[in-house]
Amino acid sequence: MGTLTWTFVVGAVTLVLTYAAIRIFKYLKWLRLVITSVSKLPGPKPHWFFGNIFQIKDFSDLMFRMHEECIGKGDKLYVFWLFRFQPIIILAHPDTIKVVMRSNAPKTTIGPGYPFLVPWLGQSLLIANGPKWERNRRLLTPAFHFNILTGYFKLYNEVADVLLDKLASGSKDGKYLDIFKPASMATLDTLLQCSLGYKGNVQLVGDSHPYVTAVNRLGHLIDKRSFHFHHYAEFIYRHFTADGKENESTETEAKKHLDFLDILITAKDDNGVGLTDDEIRAEVDTFLFAGHDTTSSVLSWSMYCLGKYKDIQEKVYREVKEVTGSKGTIESEDLPKLKYLTCFLKEVMRLHTPVPVTNRTLDEPIVLDGYDIPAGVMVDFGIYHCHNHPDVWENPKEFKPERFEGDKHHEMDPYSFTPFSAGPRNCIGLNFAQNEEKVLIARIVERFEISLDPDHTVIPFLEVVMRLPKLVSWSTLNKEAPKLPRRCEK
Does the annotation place 70 within a ligand binding site?
A: no
Which of 96, 108, 203, 294 binds ligand HEM (CB under 6 A)? It is 294
287 near ligand HEM, rule: CB under 6 A: yes
Cβ proximity of 91 and 253 under 8 Å: no
111 near ligand HEM, rule: CB under 6 A: no
419 near ligand HEM, rule: CB under 6 A: yes
Nearest distance from residue 265's CB to ligand HEM, in Å? 16
Nearest distance from residue 423's CB to ligand HEM, in Å? 9
Which of 99, 305, 386, 428 binds ligand HEM (CB under 6 A)? It is 428
Residue 249, amino acid: S
Q: Name the region of 182 (left: φ>0; alpha: ψ -120 to 50; beta: rest).
A: alpha
Residue 461 and residue 407: Cα distance in Å, rounded? 33
* Number of amino acids touching ligand HEM (CB under 6 A): 22
Comparing CA positions, the residue from 340, 145, 175, 158 lying closest to residue 259 is: 145
Give the H or E element holding residue 80. Answer: strand 77-81
Which of 126, 188, 442, 452 binds ligand HEM (CB under 6 A)? It is 126
295 near ligand HEM, rule: CB under 6 A: yes
203 near ligand HEM, rule: CB under 6 A: no
Region 330-389 residues binding ligand HEM, contact defined as CB under 6 A: 354-355, 358
Cβ proximity of 385 and 71 under 8 Å: yes
425 near ligand HEM, rule: CB under 6 A: yes
Which of 421, 431, 475, 476 binds ligand HEM (CB under 6 A)? It is 421
Region 257-286 residues binding ligand HEM, contact defined as CB under 6 A: 286
Residue 233 and residue 461: Cα distance in Å, rounded? 27
Cβ proximity of 385 and 357 under 8 Å: no
Paired sense of beta strands 371-373 and 366-368, if any: antiparallel
Nearer to ligand HEM, 182 or 429 (CB): 429
Cβ proximity of 299 and 307 under 8 Å: no
Nearer to ligand HEM, 149 or 177 (CB): 149
Cβ proximity of 155 and 186 under 8 Å: no
Nearer to ligand HEM, 52 or 388 (CB): 388
125 near ligand HEM, rule: CB under 6 A: yes
Nearer to ligand HEM, 203 or 300 (CB): 300
How many other β-carbons are positioned within 10 Å of the β-carbon of residue 143? 22
Nearest distance from residue 279's CB to ligand HEM, in Å? 13
Residue 131 and residue 275: Cα distance in Å, rounded? 14
Q: At what angle do helices 180-196 and 430-447 cross, to 10 degrees?
A: 130
Give the H or E element holding residue 161. Answer: helix 153-170
300 near ligand HEM, rule: CB under 6 A: no
Which of 46, 219, 291, 401 binds ligand HEM (CB under 6 A)? It is 291
Nearest distance from residue 148's CB to ligand HEM, in Å? 11
**Binding window for ligand HEM (CB under 6 A); candidates: 34-42, 115-123, 245-253, 414-422:** 414-422
Residue 266 and residue 471: Cα distance in Å, rounded? 33
Contacts for 405 with CB less than 8 Å, ≥ 6 apart: 339, 340, 343
Chain residues binding ligand HEM by CB under 6 A are: 125-126, 137, 286-287, 290-291, 294-295, 298, 354-355, 358, 419-421, 425, 427-429, 432-433
Residue positions forming the annotated binding site for heme: 427
